[in-house]
Amino acid sequence: MLWRRAVAIFIIASMLIPLSSATIVGSQIGSSFPMGISTFPLSGVYYTKEVEGAINVSSLQIGESYLPNGQPFEMGNASLQLNAMVDGLYWAQDVALICQQTSSTFNIRFVVNYWNLSGPFTLKVNNATVTSFQGLGVICYLSPSISATIPFNLSLFMLENRTGISFGYAYDNHSKIYYFIPISGSFQIGGTSKIGLPNDLELVWGGPGGGSVVSIHINALSEIFYKQGDKMVIPNETYSIGFDTGESVQGVNVNADLSHLFSPKAQEKTGADNPTVLWPIPPSISINQHNSSVNVTVYVNGKPIPDQEIEVETGFPLSPIAKALTNQDGIASFTNITSSFFVVYYPGNFTLSYSYAISSPALNSIYSSLTSYYHKLLSFLQSEEYSFKKGITSFFNDGRYVSPPSTTVNYLLLEYIVAIVVGVVISAVLVRLKT
């Protein structure tokens, strides 16, 4: 009976993508996305020699993962991926493959996944698999593993010099470069790659390869950085999802932690996936006018924002007639505002988008439909430019972790193995018949 079921599975499996292969078009199960933090500016293109993603994990439970066709894949395995494009021609991945051992302990294996978007690789590299898929070259390197215990801090980084790109990680106050590829170029943030994907920088969670989706429960704070001059800086515009990888997660809700406006973080918690703009976001502005006195209150998420410059503008075209800073209660006070119609302008800062408010409630409601930079970012996120159904599926070349041993027999896995064996036998028989 098992043999008959295995033959049937072989027929189905022969139409599936091999687990160790990669594909340019990956689908995600249900409403899953690569969740975490990414940056993709609409206002220009940045070139940098170093990128980094960092995460502080307070709790993490990794559930089951599924292949793009919905078949169960593995239990207790996930990938944390730092992904960036190099000159729009190469896709660089510095990946932590994370296998849960107990409720608080994990094994982590680091993986380099490096794609040539122009064609196969011709160079030779040390201790790595060099292959191709659908005409694109892939370099895959698997590092030895480390052990981690909750809570933990983990950083992934990639840096470029004139001779090539180094891949590294930092854990427990220990930093290590674990692989080097002799292909030089700059990390490009912005614009689109040779195959049409956004050149974003992303630190995102996904399944353990093969375009898989995994369910996780998490509480963490994450950040991404890129080098500008001699400093590592935080991007000005960030999202809660990644744009390039084919792996995804379910059960991760990401929002901005803006408790420190100039050093924001992404707060990752258990909840529904939520593709959104993390920052910049427009603050709320309220106007209270009494005769010629005007009080303007600026706040985010119900919290007042002190020390922010506010302008009052009138005329056509608009020109500023008064400026003031908000106090500790987020209030900027103006006197001698004789006009009943004026515009309050907030120029924005690092994490807050510029915003307007109009003294007339009727006109203010009309203004709310106007486009700010935040709304442009949000429109991009909701547009068809990226459908969240395409991406490059990671190629880990059997670098997946196997779930911790148990006494339960995995009959599905057994049937897959038997199906492969049966397929080999059938192929051999057909070859003999032809000869």
Residue 250 to residue 70: CA distance in whole angstroms: 13
Question: What is the per-residue pLDDT across 297-318, written as a single tens digit (0 to 9) for each?
Answer: 999 988 999 999 999 998 878 8
Structure confidence at residue 367 (pLDDT): 58
Residue 403 to residue 72: CA distance in whole angstroms: 13
- Report residue 79 as tokens: 């990938």
Residue 284 to residue 183: CA distance in whole angstroms: 47
Q: Does residue 26 surpass a pLDDT of 60?
A: no
The CA-CA-CA angle for residues 262, 266, 355, to 5°, reads 55
How many of the other CB atoms lie within 10 Å of CB of 299?
16
E strand intervals along 129-280 = 129-133, 136-149, 152-161, 164-171, 174-181, 187-189, 201-206, 213-228, 231-233, 238-241, 248-250, 252-257, 265-270, 277-279
How many of the other CB atoms lie within 10 Å of CB of 323?
12
Structure confidence at residue 124 (pLDDT): 86
- The candidate with the shortest Cα–Cα distance to 234, out of 198, 195, 261, 255, is 261
Structure confidence at residue 393 (pLDDT): 85
Question: What is the per-residue pLDDT across 195-225, written as a single tens digit (0 to 9) for each?
Answer: 988 999 999 999 998 889 999 999 999 999 9
Torsion of CA 178, 182, 184, 190, to 10 degrees: -50
Q: Does residue 8 surpass a pLDDT of 70?
A: no
Q: Lowest-confidence range among 136-150, 212-226, 242-256, 376-390?
A: 376-390
Question: What is the per-residue pLDDT across 10-23, written as a single tens digit (0 to 9) for each?
Answer: 322 333 333 333 33
Residue 389 to residue 135: CA distance in whole angstroms: 21
- The candidate with the shortest Cα–Cα distance to 183, out of 156, 155, 157, 158, is 158
Structure confidence at residue 220 (pLDDT): 98
Structure confidence at residue 18 (pLDDT): 34
Q: What is the mean pLDDT of residues 412-423?
A: 35
- The candidate with the shortest Cα–Cα distance to 247, out of 93, 366, 102, is 93
Q: What is the mean pLDDT of residues 289-302?
A: 92
- Report residue 130 as tokens: 């060099």
Q: Does residue 147 surpass a pLDDT of 70?
A: yes
Q: What is the mean pLDDT of residues 52-77?
A: 92
Q: Does residue 386 surpass a pLDDT of 70?
A: no
Torsion of CA 201, 206, 212, 215, to 10 degrees: -150
In 3-state terms, the chain is what percent helix, strand and coil (to 5)?
Answer: 10, 45, 40
Q: What percent of the chain has pLDDT over 90?
A: 61
CB-based contact 49:161 (threshold 8 Å)? yes
Helix (H, G, I), strand (E, B) or coil at 394: coil
Torsion of CA 423, 424, 429, 434, to 10 degrees: 100
Peptide bond into 317 cis (omega under 30): yes
CB-based contact 334:324 (threshold 8 Å)? yes
